Amino acid sequence: MLYVSTRGGGPAVTFSAALLAGLAPDGGLYVPARWPQLSVSDFDGCTSLAEVAGALIAPFAAGDPLADELADMTAEACAIPAPLVPVGRGAGYSVLELFHGPTAAFKDFGAQFLAACMTRLRPAGARPLEILVATSGDTGGAVAAAFHGRAGIRVGVLFPQGLVSPLQQQQLTCWGDNVQAFAVRGSFDDCQRLVKAAFVDPQLRQRFDRSSANSINLGRLLPQAAYHAATALAVWREQGVKPSFVIPSGNLGNALACIWARHVGLPIGDIVLAHNANRAVADYLDGKPWQPRRSIATLASAMDVGDPSNMERLQALFPALPDLQAAVTAQVVDDGAIRQRISADYAAYGAIWCPHTATAAEVMARMPAARKARGPWIIVATAHPAKFSEIVAPLIGRAVPVPESLARLYQRPSASRPLEPRLEALRAALIDGDPAPGNTP
């Protein structure tokens, strides 16, 4: 299996090369040169998430040196529970809980898999590998946890200063060692722009090997496709119907993963994107010209993305707008509706949503009864509500229970480095943090 850029430049590369590069040389994102086609029978005997992930990712890694280690890598990444839980009598849908990993967010799955891959791909004596990740909240913590302490790999986490929750910031800044956090004086879009610029910067190219752990990296997307696939297979085997998903969406990685799973043959029905006030994707699907814009700060901060990178992959898969509109729909949920949904669903079902999951729950609440009846429907819970307790607790009138994994992280000391949103500032910070050219941290 080979991979090509969404922008059509550069040669086709292997699975491993795409993972290590993160971004294609022309600035595009890697996608399969040809799509594998799978059927439900290809997953016969696969009952665990790790087994489903192995069967799903195998054709994407065909012919690659990592193929022989795929079972071990998916076992490492998919040891996290991903239960499907009915919401409550009368709700009419279930919730896929993806917040049981070390940083209580769905991004733990992809980050753990990517770390397993990159650790195996680093030859002895190689130059330092600099992992750069822009985060609007959850990605950076998951990546930091996955790569922390791994020899020969350094991580630079860029987050928008003052625009993540206090508990998210603690997760981004509590690691030290080979993980450095940068508080960028700007938006998530500024962070993402800096990461992309660093990839094509000649001075940094001479100094480091580089890769990304954002959802622009193929290694993040495929494990996320796996939990959608495993959930859909479980429903199909039990009920003989295709489940549909409502997915909180920002940079579009999680939604794209579900779309990819369906595209290669998994039994998945409708896919609905739940956006906060950052409505570029929703407007485009409504027929307006594609217009990236500055991000807007909302309660669902991890989704505050005005120029989602994975839109390139969506448009590569569905070049004609009518085909994309047939493949996926989107709705916008403002902060007032997020607050109301958190309160209402706790009162009705005892459910405690983070603001991101609440966007999906609000979309479900708005869904016409006739469409809801064509279910089963699943909303995707992307983060534990304890990460946003300062928002959630006042709305439900009680403290939010904190999982043990988060409690441990909150006890660690934290540190970050302020950074102006300019490439030269990031370049200087990365070079300043390198002990010596060619040395590993």
- The CATH number linked to 399 is 3.40.50.1100
Residue 158: inside a domain: no
Q: Report the pLDDT value the prediction gives residue 436, as an integer from 0 to 100.
A: 37
Instruction: Give alpha helix (H) positions in 158-292.
Output: 166-173, 188-199, 202-207, 218-239, 253-263, 280-285
Q: Other CB atoms closer than 10 Å to residue 286's CB: what's the count?
A: 12
- Contact assessment for residue 115 and residue 223, using Cβ atoms and an 8 Å cutoff: no
Domains: count for the chain = 1
Q: Which H/E stretch holds residue 245?
A: strand 244-248
Segment-wise mean pLDDT, segments of 10 residues, the chain, 441 residues: 94 94 90 97 96 98 95 94 92 95 92 91 79 82 90 90 86 91 92 88 83 83 96 97 97 96 98 97 96 92 91 96 97 98 97 98 96 93 94 97 89 92 93 49 32
3 state DSSP class of 185:
coil
Q: Report the pLDDT value the prediction gives residue 433, as an integer from 0 to 100.
A: 63
Residue 102: inside a domain: yes
Residue 271: inside a domain: yes
Q: 119-151: per-residue pLDDT in tens?
A: 898 877 777 788 888 887 778 888 899 999 888
Eight-state DSSP code of residue 288: P
Residue 293: inside a domain: yes
Residue 154: inside a domain: no
- Contact assessment for residue 243 and residue 376, using Cβ atoms and an 8 Å cutoff: yes
Q: Report the pLDDT value the prediction gives residue 40, as an integer from 0 to 100.
A: 97
What is the token pair recorded at 366?
A: 């708005």
3 state DSSP class of 69:
helix
Range of the domain at 291: 74-106+219-403
Residue 202: inside a domain: no
Residue 133: inside a domain: no
Contacts of 202 (CB under 8 A, 6+ apart): none
Residue 347: inside a domain: yes
Q: Report the pLDDT value the prediction gives residue 90, as an integer from 0 to 100.
A: 80
Contacts of 59 (CB under 8 A, 6+ apart): 1, 36, 38, 264
Measured CA to CA in angstroms, residue 147 lies from 24, 155, 162, 179 at distances of 22, 7, 24, 8
User: How many Å apart are CA 95 and CA 382, to the nearest integer?
Assistant: 10
Please report the beta strands in 123-218, taking only residues with DSSP state E, as ranges in sequence order.
Answer: 129-134, 153-160, 179-184, 209-212
User: How many Å apart are CA 184 and CA 59, to the nearest integer?
Assistant: 39
